Structure 1
């Protein structure tokens, strides 16, 4: 099946939400969901303080120009968007570190549901335990890819006027990272390296951005961000089956 474009990518998160309701997949949705609820409560309390401090500090850097001071409400919104995007993916990073072994197996079961073929082996809980070191290493690679780029964008986002562009760049970067984050699960099941995954997604970047955009937006919404992770894993697996494998060759 030929790979689609940006609009094609947009539909996979919705398909993921439909897939997580399948009886054979529910258990591996519920367990990490409970972990995410506990994590989100701690994460929200901790970051609420940091959010307020960063906004106050950034606003204090504004020069005493009348036209800038009259636009302080706009800068509040822009700073809020930039930091919220940063925190949204920060939550995803921590949640996926905890749930990565479950999500790898959820992706495998989803692909079996979609194609009727066993991806690796039907090892059940024993396979989940064996895959923990490899799953955690994949998450570390994604964090190492994300952090320096996020830091650069964060610095841009804290500069008045420049943050007009930084907010747009953050949306694009977060969309790309969400695609990398979740398509990595089926890619790992097929033993495709993380550098290989980046190359594969770049061959159809519009579809990857289309897939990642609604996940990035959903990750910014409290409560919804708790259930979007397993849905994104299932949607990413459908994306892998129909889009990523179609880009296996240039």
Structure 2
């Protein structure tokens, strides 16, 4: 049985958008934002043609069944939605590879802000440079978790009729991955392993899906997705601070 509060989880991204406007956090929002703008412009040009070709190919594989052909518009929407989800998380993967050292430090500053500690950036650049290898390895772990599952869903999505269910599974999986992706920043700051983080998030999976859903939707919207990434980092840090099952320290104290 799924546990957690889906609607409670929905509110964390909105809180993240409020947090990125805080004076002490803005600098570490602006720098990765500029990097993401350059990245997004490049990906948009590169992937525009690939999107149309993939859709045409996928539709060509459908058997010539009269009832299926009458639903071609629905299947086009489903395939298009799956591809948008893939591109959305693909954008997130690349953006986070580039900005991961900044996002880890942004999560640290956000946690200080939320817990009433002084937010200062003295020595921040040295810490960012020092954390680059660990941050990149953490991103690689998430990619290695994502790729085989995404490949399995992609293969299932090529099967007529089954792809109707797979489209829904893709959406749920993407929401789960977005929660994992961003809550991992404060978890990594506390040296929680990625497997343990997955276990802790799974204990309240509905809350995690509630957080990941608007992030996943926002990541599919051009321009908005540039701002969703830092807002998701801040929202995920609020999630870390307030969800009691995540922190080892909180459970020890309890």
- Count the aligned residue pairs: 247
Decide whether the 8 Å contact of 1:6 with 1:209 is kept in 2: yes
Q: Take 1:157 and 1:226, find their aligned partners in 2: how far apart are those partners?
A: 28
Decide whether the 8 Å contact of 2:4 with 2:205 is kept in 1: no
- Look up the match of 2:197: 197
Q: What are the Cα deviations for residues 120-148 of structure 1, in whole angstroms up to 9, with x where unaligned?
A: x9631000000000000000000000000
TM-score, normalising length from structure 2? 0.93
Q: Take 1:157 and 1:125, find their aligned partners in 2: how far apart are those partners?
A: 44
Unaligned runs of 5+ in 1: none
Distance 1:245 1:110, change over 3 A: farther
- Look up the match of 1:101: 101
- Look up the match of 1:20: 20
Distance 1:137 1:173, change over 3 A: same
Pair 1:58-2:58 in alignment: yes
Q: What are the Cα deviations for residues 186-238 of structure 1, in whole angstroms up to 9, with x where unaligned?
A: 00000101111111111111111111111001111111111000000000000
CA RMSD of aligned residues (A): 1.8
- Look up the match of 1:154: 154
Decide whether the 8 Å contact of 1:79 with 1:158 is kept in 2: no
Q: Which moved more, 1:157-166 or 1:105-114?
A: 157-166
Distance 1:149 1:111, change over 3 A: same
Q: Take 1:34 and 1:89, find their aligned partners in 2: how far apart are those partners?
A: 19
- Look up the match of 2:131: 131
The structural deviation recorded for 1:73 is 0.8
Decide whether the 8 Å contact of 1:201 with 1:244 is kept in 2: no
Q: Which moved more, 1:151-160 or 1:80-89?
A: 151-160
Q: Take 1:244 and 1:75, find their aligned partners in 2: how far apart are those partners?
A: 41
Distance 1:245 1:125, change over 3 A: farther
Q: Take 1:72 and 1:51, find their aligned partners in 2: how far apart are those partners?
A: 17
Q: After superposition, where does 1:1-250 map in structure 2 within 5 Å?
A: 5-117=5-117, 123-243=123-243, 245=245, 248=248, 249=251
Q: What are the Cα deviations for residues 86-144 of structure 1, in whole angstroms up to 9, with x where unaligned?
A: 1100000000000000000000000000002479x963100000000000000000000
TM-score, normalising length from structure 1? 0.94
Which contiguous aligned blocks of 4+ residues in structure 1 show a shift greater than 6 angstroms?
Answer: none
Q: Take 2:215 and 2:32, find their aligned partners in 1: how far apart are those partners?
A: 17
